Amino acid sequence: MVLVFALAAGLCLQMSVLSNQVMGRCEAKDRAVMVAQNTAEVWKLNRGDGQKCAETLGGQWDADVWQIGYDDNWQEIDCSDAEYLVRAVSVVTNDPYLGRADISVETADGDCLFQVSVA
């Protein structure tokens, strides 16, 4: 009987650890969606001017790419040490009056949590 209870306790512990991991990924994805949508709104507000976006949100603007890094608590840090990296890349279009950018939120491992295009 003790063996049965020990096995049941071990399974419950495993399920608890797994549920915490899944919850952490879901929270990161939810936060990534919010950050990407906020970035898209600021990008549209500034009419695709990455320098103004960098002044508004922080981060770095490098000609065609704006990026900002966050730690695991979603506090802004240097991009080289970031757990999450938000990047807006200007996309050249055939229409000179239409600006477009692809905004993505990625983990330090390069996994894309969320991506959205804004025009």
Question: What's the pLDDT tens digit per position in 54-112?
Answer: 888 888 888 888 999 999 888 888 888 889 999 998 887 777 778 788 999 999 888 89
CA distance 14 to 20: 10
CA distance 52 to 43: 9
3-class SS shares of the chain: helix, strand, coil, % to 5: 45, 30, 25
Looking at residue 63, its amino acid is A
Question: What's the pLDDT tens digit per position in 26-63?
Answer: 888 999 999 999 989 988 888 888 888 888 888 888 88
Confidence (pTM): 0.76
Which among 82, 88, 83 has a CA at the least distance from the CA of 115? 88
| Per-residue DSSP letter, 83 | S
